Chains A and B, each alone.
Chain A
Amino acid sequence: MARSFAAARVGLGVRRLNAIKRALIYIIVTFLAVVILIPFFWMLSTALQQEGDIFAWPPKWIPDPPQWRNFADAWNAMPFNRYLWNTIFIVVLGITAELASATLVAYGFARFRFPGSDFIFLVLLATMMLPFHVTLIPTFLIWQHFGLVGEFDPLVLRAWTAWGPFYIFLLRQFFLTIPRELDDAAEIDGANTFQTFFLIMLPQIRPALLAVAIFAFRGYWNDFLGPLIYLTDMELYTMNVGMYFFMGGVNEAPQWNYLMAMSILIALPVVLLFFVAQRYFIEGITFTGLKD
């Protein structure tokens, strides 16, 4: 009797401890969330400010009155309809190319052993460490050699060369989890390598394909330096490059409210995508231990 009473008290103590622990965690998480959300809030607040109020002192956190028309004005200040269409064009073609090429290469690395395959894979991974700026000019010269600078081609075609080591790595890890018995069974049933690849393997890694598609979407949607360097016709600009017109220039003050309004519009699809497809983002990270 006394013992069980004591046990109950201990249980209560543990529970209370757990509650405190949880409360503490919530407090920390809430605090961090606020820290992270403040810039977003500031972005929204700036987007809705009148031009003169942005740097008002003391700061006006809540725009009064909110200038909802900033969004429309910013959109119409430059040909953003055209820029949106350009961006979508690049994103769609880019994702397609990325998926098609990366899966093939990843499949190769996961299933075929050939002399030096480990070494080649290592080299592939090592290219992840090359900063974009190092390869910028050599790559540019290659595309120029093909006469394709100034077109969308360099932005889209490059994906056909399976240039994303991260995607290949991610997909290869997924392929490795599929038991070889499946391949063997398919082979016994008379499937050739491509049938095995398309009909057996690809459906198995659908979550990984989605993860890659999402990462690729984010990558192409946010890509800035690529379009900036390769596109030389203002008609072909993407949203990100177009948005920079609001940065002003020598003696032209930046239009912060327009800049922030466009930033919100551009960030929106990615944020929405994250909420919808959170699981796949996380999956990509936990599987590889890498963040793209």
Chain B
Amino acid sequence: MSKRLSMLMSVLLVIALVLSACGGSKNNGSSGNGGNTAGTDGGSSGGNADGSGQKVQIRLSTWAGADEAKELQAILDDLNAKSDVYEIVQDSNPAEYDTRIITQLSGDSGPDLFWVSAQRAAQFAAGGVMLDITDRLANSSHPAANTDDYYEASFGPFTHDGRIYGLPWLQQPVMLYVNKALFDEAGLSYPDESWTWDDFIAAAKKLTKDANGKRADEEGFDPNNTVQWGFTLNGWPPVQMFIWQNGGEVITEDGKSPIDSPEAMEALNFYADLVQGPLVPSQTIIRDRGFDQMFRNGQVAMFMGGAADDLDRTVENVQAFMVPAGPDGTHVTFADILGMGINAKTKNPDAAFQAFLDLTDAIHHWKIMPPRKSLADYETLKELHPDKAHSLEAIIASMQYGRPYRYSEKYPDWDNIFWTQLMDPIVNAGARPSDLVPKVKPLLEDALK
């Protein structure tokens, strides 16, 4: 009998332990059943109307790193001081942002505002995760709410079925960063708006040098003994940009992937020739010495990077220019787009929207490049970013040619096939596009169905 009793006792004890542990801590959380409001949620939406209400706490999730988080906090402090409606609380961490945000949003306890990449924005907009702000924007006179002021391309990822689910705060076109000292040494003039692929290749040849000082367009150049390369590629910049410049497409509006069109094939071959040829370091060298690092220490003369990269701020003699146009002069550059959304489940949509607009506007005055035409002004930007002044004109000129990928819910699957089956073999295994494209095209189109 004692055995049975003691068994019962131990079961009870365990249960008691568990229950007491749960119960004991409940009071520092909040109401039990699902209605989890974060402690200090004083007023409800617009609860400040009577003027006496507490400010509404608005939680903001971002991927900001150490320095970025500090700069952001300064902006938030400023906004919070000015507002009597909201108090934005920052929750930043660059680690596993997607896992984190998706987990938190899957419940009711997600942040009110969150930074979002273009790809995620397209998914979230389609999935109803982000608040539909179309009407709110239309009824607002806030400068950041004027949808006509934004570059059209930047809106794509935030629009679904004609409704708007977020605002971009950054549109970052790919620029051609140039080491001017190496250009001078080779007797080349700097790139300008008229540059096409041919000018680019001609310059890259002059900027590729072997240990004996012979350049790639000279007799006796030894490609096995290169010490300076004209350009560098490792899958970045994306081949899509070159296909667009040549008049091709990778995803059409009706879900086709015409990568076997003559325009796309020509661009793919152009890319493959570059990455497999003598003007670009081998992938082994790039991995060993660092992709952008080789440009930073003068082993590579031209580098394509986002407009906000620090290359022109931190490396001497470096300036950003427009990326070369396609053979017939078509200008397109890939644009990375980042933005912010409001949690569809936010408890305080009104306060959140106000904070959202103020913060979006503040970020437009913080980062390069704001996706708004009214801010794409040399004098304004020079004041905000004096250390990038010498690159600004080219960056502003690139904005109208910026173009993001055609994101959709199924895009990640498409993207996965595109990189693993097509680009990875071309970049890392020396494969030729003509061998791969016929096999990969149906896979890509399947992924979009």
Contacts and interface: CB of A to CB of B under 8 A. Distances in A.
Interface magnitude class on chain B: 35 or more
B108 interface: yes
B127 interface: no
A253 B2 contact: no
A234 interface: yes
B33 interface: yes
Interface in A47-65: 55-57
Contact of B66 (A140, A161, A245, A251): A245
Contacts of A12: none
A232 B38 CA distance: 11
B139 interface: no
Interface string A193-234: 110000000000000000000000000000011001100111
Contacts of B89: 233
Interface stretch (A34-42, A144-152, A170-178): A144-152
Q: Which of B33, B59, B106, B111 has the most CB of A within 10 A?
A: B106
A144 B36 contact: yes
> Interface majority SS on A: helix, strand, loop or mixed?
helix
Interface string A149-186: 11101000100111000000000000000000000000
Contacts of A254: 65
Interface magnitude class on chain A: 35 or more
Contacts of A137: 103, 106
Interface in A230-282: 232-234, 237, 241, 244-255, 258
14 contacts: A57-B297, A147-B29, A151-B25, A151-B29, A193-B6, A229-B99, A229-B100, A233-B91, A234-B93, A237-B93, A245-B92, A247-B65, A249-B68, A253-B310
Interface of B: 2-3, 5-7, 9-10, 13-14, 17-18, 21-22, 25-26, 28-36, 38, 59, 61, 63-69, 89-96, 99-100, 103-104, 106-109, 111, 172, 288-290, 293-294, 297, 299, 306, 308-310, 336, 338
Interface of A: 55-57, 77-78, 97, 100-101, 104-105, 107-108, 112, 114, 136-137, 140-141, 144-151, 153, 157, 160-162, 187, 192-194, 224-225, 228-229, 232-234, 237, 241, 244-255, 258
Given A104-B13, A114-B7, A247-B95, 5 more contacts: A100-B17, A140-B104, A148-B26, A193-B6, A249-B63
